[in-house]
Amino acid sequence: MTERHWMGVADATRAFAARTLSPVELLQSLLDRIAKLDPVLNVFITLDAEAAMDQARAAEAEIAAGRIRGPLHGVPMGVKDIIDVAGLRTTGHSRVLIDNVATADAVCVARLRQAGAIMLGKVATHEFAIGGPSFDLPWPPARNPWNPDFHPGGSSSGSGSGVAAGLFPAALGTDTGGSVRNPASACGIVGLKPTYGLVSRRGVFPLSYTLDHVGPMTRTVADNALLLDCLAGHDPADPASQPTPRTNYAAQLERGVRGLRIGFVRHFHERDVPASPEVAAGLEHAARVLEAEGAEIRTVTLPSLSEFAAVNRVLLCSEAWAVHAPWLRERPEQYGELSRRRLMPGAFMAAGDYVQAQRRRLQMIAEVEDAFREVDVLFCASSMDTACRIEDPETVARTYSRQARTPFNVTGHPALAMFAGLSKEGLPLSLQFAGRNFGEATLFRVARAWERAAGTASRHPPIG
């Protein structure tokens, strides 16, 4: 039998239904593991253990009475600490908001609750989702469960580390330049940035209105699809939200890739930002596996990573400055040094820079749409390197931009990063799939085919 802390969302709900495990028993196992590992991993900013146990007892009583609230009934979740959970602080991992208590759930949290999920607590992020692993903040940065001396990726660092370490089976993250997919890559889990506008951002502290997404982080593709089923839906109070028909995102999971055309964006990791040899070899291996599974692999060319990064940087810096300018003028000393340094360039962006970046963004969207006329899914690198040491700021700074995630924030297309194997150092390698707008079901289909063929879902960090 699977150890309780490695049970996924679907595993747990099946065990609850069969009465072989109760929500209280699962939660207690996770709390015991948190007590053991969190002093090393620094995942939690606020662990709401007592309230979570009350919710688990209520979920257990409902199961006994034959009442199931939804597909996540009784399952504990971690929530990135820029997302509001009613009654808990939303700090942004910053002393600027250290006393900021949310009065209502964010829409994404409310939807998970409606499906029966239990909010276990608020977890670490880079400061305001932009800083980096910083040691001058009120809480230490989260660490990588594969090796705690290494960076877990960010900015959804606590979400990625906690899921990978078995502290909770799923978590919410946010993604503005790759912040769901970076920790998914570094920690060897599944992280989805959905189509822009598919998941409401109301109740989430903004970084960039043009680029922000909320996404699920899980250990398996099936669990990720299950969470998206619960999260997706129109929110008329979020200006970016788009009305879409209800979709069963797991419907195609086991169909395999036979007959699908997969566009391999090789120039991202071969020319634009040359990947480490292990990452490059892992990508080529994955392409061969998918081809052996029946997919047609085609080489695809998109705009260069440097151009995508430039557009992303202008939009992000300009919009983040609009959010933070009053506080940075009034109390800059309350920010960590790294996030302050990353926010300040927005003060010097001209209106013309912003307009031109938005203009080029629309052209890039059209170019990616053109690619999808020839292929069903895009395949490319996520990170060009494995995780680096967390207390090596020069290497952190050097490797942070060595990635291929920002293109899909710029264009808004859905993108999923996941485990591709282990490096010689025992750290996760990663890969990335991107799909047509609102084509998450096909994206999950391809990701599941890789997961099944490679056996990645059963591989966990050797921690605890």
Q: Hey, which residues are catalytic here? A: 80, 155, 179
Q: What is the 3-state secondary structure (H, E, C) of the chain?
A: CCCHHHCCHHHHHHHHHHCCCCHHHHHHHHHHHHHHHHHHHCCEEEECHHHHHHHHHHHHHHHHCCCCCCCCCCCEEEEECCECCCCCECCCCCHHHCCCECCCCCHHHHHHHHCCCEEEEEECCCHHHCCCCCCCCCCCCCCCCCCCCECCCCCCHHHHHHHHHCCCCEEEEEECCCCCHHHHHHHCCEEEECCCCCCCCCCECCCCCCCCEEEEEECCHHHHHHHHHHHCCCCCCCCCCCCCCCCCCCCCCCCCCCCCEEEECHHHHHHHCCCCHHHHHHHHHHHHHHHHCCCEEEECCCCCHHHHHHHHHHHHHHHHHHHHHHHHHHCHHHCCHHHHHHHHHHHHCCHHHHHHHHHHHHHHHHHHHHHCCCCCEEEECCECCCCCECCCHHHHHHHHCCECCHHHHHHCCCEEEEEEEECCCCCEEEEEEEECCCCHHHHHHHHHHHHHHHCHHHCCCCCC
Block residue for tokens 């994404």: 108
Indicate the residue type of 242. Q
Q: What's the sign of the alpha-carbon dihedral 96, 77, 218, 315?
A: negative
